[in-house]
Amino acid sequence: MKRLCWVAFALALSAGCGDDGDDAATGTDTTTTTAGDGDGTGDGDGDSQPIPCEDPDSATCLEIPAGDSALLLETVNLLTDDTTVRLQAGTYELDNQVTIRANDIKLEGAGLDETILSFGTAAAQINGVDVVGNDFLVQDLTVLDAPKDGIRVEDSTGVVFRRIKATWTNEGDSQNGAYGIYPVKSVNVLVEDSIAENASDAGLYVGQAINVIVRRNTVRGNVAGLEIENTQYADVYDNLAEDNTAGIVTFDLPGNPIVGRDVRLRDNIIRNNNRPNFAPGGTVALIPAGTGSFAMASRRVEITGNTYDNNDTVDIAIISGLVVDGASKWVLETDALIGDWEDLNLLPGPTEGTVTNFRGENIVVAGNSHANSGDNPDGSRDLGAVVAQLYFGTTTPSVVYDSIGESTFNPSVPAGNSNDNHICAGGNTGGDRFGSMNLENQPFGEGLVVSAPFAPFDCTELIGGPVAEVVLP
């Protein structure tokens, strides 16, 4: 979770933003060339060419012989719009990133474990695959040991990650790249049937995006398994998050012109997320090991139907952005905001024409199952230490809430507590207690713990109606 402050969001929701290819090679004459240099090695020693292939959905289809790294880089540097690049099974040893600046590009391997782009010898701080271009598809390959991000797609509309793996060889290594699968500042994003492992920040990170589906993925061995950051209209379901520091999380960070909203985290398995935090720094370094999910500075979020098991600190935490930054950092100019925000009742900023987005509000937690969690909080991080102190001698409640921004708090009388931020756990009857932590007064204050139906947090519906289904074009 790094803090991303843009000068401008260079994404027009309906206009293309990839390179138009005017300065690249044109036409389709590359499809009439032959492959190799006659020695049958595909060694890319200067005279190999792409193999013609067929794709009924692309104007041009180019196949790269197994392991021919030089030809792969040469081919993508000369891409024109509407091209499929197919990589044969094999390992491509690369010391430079695969850079794509064109629209309607497909980058296809022969299988998730068959085609491997390996960056283990790269000396420069580069991404593995770096894309700016509309209607981009990557599928059936692995990106291994990228110095920075595994696959980064930015400022693009229509993005599909399918059956790909982004991973690093060394587990728990702070020198690993930050993000494995990373669509950012993009619209209409689908990530499915993929694997993200061993990232020093987040394995699968959707940032500052609009209209997103993330489904049937596995995230393991990362600091944060799966993150949805400053994103509007996201549906995250049927994923497995295990052996991370934190499993699946959603949050806003300050300074970004998209205010996150309408996120569903549903029907996921979130278990055994107890890996020690190995982030080299940044906000993600604050996360205590043993965290299942958290929603921070978030609004209109549904956390429903998930299976939580054996997360040592807490299954679900709902926290304010003030936990990580002061209120002045969260001020946004309304004329710079992108997407839908006017109906969100954001708190006003210090001057006219400004709002703030640190408040966590209008969140429903319902229908989750909880087992074996909260019995060994990670006291090496501040939030984990507070949890350990508040619930010493017992287990952490299945859902904890920092209660920042509430007008009244009473640790002894549930009716003496406000629910101004509309945090709803009434439908989470499979959970063991709800804890309101009174975080502003810790480490010396008392917390409130209530059992089902968790009054005054017993509401069951979002203000403004449920989060709508995300439908991609």
Between 4 and 112, the more confident residue is: 112
Give the pLDDT confidence of 322-339 residue by residue, as tens digits. Answer: 999 999 999 999 999 999
Confidence check: pLDDT of 39 > 60: no
Q: Is residue 303 part of a domain?
A: yes
CB 17 within 8 A of CB 8: no
Which pLDDT does position 29 carry in this prediction?
Answer: 33
Band (38; pLDDT cuts 50, 70, 90): very low
Q: Classify strands 51-52 and 60-64 as parallel, antiparallel or unpaired.
A: antiparallel
136, 182, 186, 161: which is closest to 13 by C-alpha? 186
Give the pLDDT confidence of 57-100 residue by residue, as tens digits. Answer: 999 999 999 999 999 999 999 999 999 999 999 999 999 999 99
Which pLDDT does position 27 carry in this prediction?
Answer: 33
Q: Is residue 2 part of a domain?
A: no
CB 87 within 8 A of CB 64: yes
Q: Is residue 39 part of a domain?
A: no
Confidence check: pLDDT of 24 > 60: no
Region 278-302: mean pLDDT is: 97
Confidence check: pLDDT of 43 > 60: no
DSSP string, 75-114: HHHT--SSEEEEE-SEEEE-SS-EEE--SSEEEE-S-TTT
CB 373 within 8 A of CB 409: no
Region 209-221: mean pLDDT is: 98
Band (47; pLDDT cuts 50, 70, 90): low
Q: Is residue 71 part of a domain?
A: no
In this predicted structure, which of 37-46, 149-158, 378-387 has the lowest mean pLDDT? 37-46
Which pLDDT does position 443 carry in this prediction?
Answer: 85
Region 222-249: mean pLDDT is: 98
Cβ neighbors of 349 (< 8 A, separation 6 or more) are 331, 332, 355, 356
CB 90 within 8 A of CB 109: no
Q: How many distinct structural domains can be found in the chain?
A: 1
Which pLDDT does position 37 carry in this prediction?
Answer: 39
Which pLDDT does position 32 carry in this prediction?
Answer: 31
Which pLDDT does position 48 carry in this prediction?
Answer: 85
Tokens 């289904």 -> residue: 469
Region 14-18: mean pLDDT is: 33
Confidence check: pLDDT of 21 > 60: no
Q: Is residue 104 part of a domain?
A: no
Q: Is residue 47 part of a domain?
A: no
Residue 71 parent element (H or E): helix 69-77
Q: Is residue 57 part of a domain?
A: no
Region 223-248: mean pLDDT is: 98
Strands (E), 283-341: 291-296, 299-304, 307-309, 314-319, 331-333
Q: Is residue 276 part of a domain?
A: yes
Band (444; pLDDT cuts 50, 70, 90): confident
Give the pLDDT confidence of 157-191 residue by residue, as tens digits. Answer: 999 999 999 999 999 999 999 999 999 999 999 99
Which pLDDT does position 445 carry in this prediction?
Answer: 86
Region 283-307: mean pLDDT is: 98
Band (133; pLDDT cuts 50, 70, 90): very high
Which pLDDT does position 316 carry in this prediction?
Answer: 98
Q: Which domain holds residue 232?
A: 168-450
Which pLDDT does position 183 carry in this prediction?
Answer: 98
- Encoding tokens for residue 54? 């067929």
In this predicted structure, which of 17-31, 218-232, 412-426 has the lowest mean pLDDT? 17-31
Which pLDDT does position 18 carry in this prediction?
Answer: 34
pTM of the complete model: 0.90
**Mean pLDDT over all residues of the chain?**
91
Counting residues of the chain whose pLDDT is more than 90, the rounded percentage is 89
> Distance between CA atoms of 376 and 310, rounded to whole angstroms?
10
